[in-house]
């Protein structure tokens, strides 16, 4: 599968190393993002469909995501959800091996991994189920809700280090104190005037889902705000989507 072109590809990100509390800034690649929206009165049906297809439950509240089988689900509205998962079946079997599973396992790759062509462009492993988003589309009819791919429209950045919370607090109007914004918490908020989904994936790591149009600006903001502390850049990261159940703030 051809890799999506990064919105940051044209930038030449600097590396600002300094004394004090070093930070790491980078972009997470190799993920797919799907928006699922139910119609009035069909949320329960959508939840059953997602559970049967992917083995993951939809969140009931906007506080922490639900996840299983390499899929992470954020609730973004009364009847709207964002599903994040591996970009394809091959990635699911290698980079996301060993992630938390549910009582409804949905293997994304079978034992036989020979390649077969399924269309003019995509090539998928033989013996594998279809890409997880395609699997979901098969069980969500148009009368139940809508499924919209946002993979090409979002950039996923991360800031990690002891000073990460302090840096983000200068531009995000959310109380990021560890006792309030705990590990695995997320918020639909803004960085200055730019909308972002902020997800605290570990005690010192925060990920930001940004509209592709503003990815360059957010990147420049992060590198500028982190400069007084010192930072280095990871050009490409395929970090795990899942936070372990025993993580503490």
User: 113 is written with which tokens?
Assistant: 């991994």
Does residue 131 contact residue 89 with C-beta atoms inside 8 Å? yes
pTM score, whole prediction: 0.76
* Maximum alpha-carbon separation in the chain: 57
Q: How many CB atoms are located within 10 Å of the residue 225 CB?
A: 21
- What was the pLDDT predicted at 199? 97
Q: How does DSSP classify residue 98? A: T
- What was the pLDDT predicted at 193? 87
User: Nearest CA to 229 among 165, 155, 135?
Assistant: 165
Distances from the Cα of 77 to the Cαs of 52, 116, 209, in angstroms? 22, 39, 16
- What was the pLDDT predicted at 80? 96
State the distance between the two ends of the chain, measured CA to CA, in whole angstroms.
37
Q: What is the helix (H) or strand (E) element at residue 80, kind and residue range?
A: strand 80-86
Residue ranges in the chain modelled with pLDDT below 70: 1-4, 7, 9-21, 88-130, 235-249
φ, ψ of residue 215 to 5 degrees: the values are: -60, -45
User: Nearest CA to 133 among 28, 45, 34, 59?
Assistant: 34
The domains located in the chain, with CATH, are: 23-29+154-237 (3.30.1360.120), 31-149 (no CATH)
| Cα R_g (the chain), whole angstroms | 18
Is the CA virtual torsion 24, 26, 32, 35 positive or negative?
Answer: positive
- What was the pLDDT predicted at 37? 97
- What was the pLDDT predicted at 110? 30
User: Nearest CA to 90 among 46, 136, 63, 122?
Assistant: 122
Cα–Cα distance between 249 and 247 in angstroms, integer?
A: 7
């Amino acid at each position: 599968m051809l890799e999506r072109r990064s919105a940051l590809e044209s930038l030449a990100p600097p590396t600002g190393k300094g004394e004090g509390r070093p930070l790491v800034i980078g972009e997470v690649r190799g993920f797919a993002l799907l928006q699922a929206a139910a119609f009035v009165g069909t949320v329960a049906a959508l939840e059953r469909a997602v559970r049967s297809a992917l083995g993951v439950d939809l969140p009931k509240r906007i506080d922490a995501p639900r996840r299983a089988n390499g899929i992470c689900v954020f609730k973004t509205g009364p009847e709207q959800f964002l599903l994040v998962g591996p970009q394809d079946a091959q990635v699911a079997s290698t980079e996301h091996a060993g992630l938390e599973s549910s009582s409804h396992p949905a293997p994304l790759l079978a034992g036989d991994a020979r390649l077969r062509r399924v269309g003019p462009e995509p090539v998928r492993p033989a013996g594998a189920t279809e890409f997880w988003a395609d699997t979901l589309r098969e069980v969500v009819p148009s009368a139940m809700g809508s499924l919209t791919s946002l993979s090409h429209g979002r950039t996923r950045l991360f800031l990690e280090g002891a000073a990460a919370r302090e840096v983000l607090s200068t531009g995000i109007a959310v109380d990021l104190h560890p006792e309030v914004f705990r590990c695995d918490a997320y918020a639909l908020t803004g960085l200055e005037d730019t909308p972002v989904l902020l997800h605290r994936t570990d005690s010192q790591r925060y990920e930001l889902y940004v509209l592709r149009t503003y990815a360059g600006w957010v990147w420049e903001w992060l590198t500028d705000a982190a400069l007084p502390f010192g930072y280095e850049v990871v050009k490409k990261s395929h970090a795990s989507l899942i936070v372990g159940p025993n993580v503490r703030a």
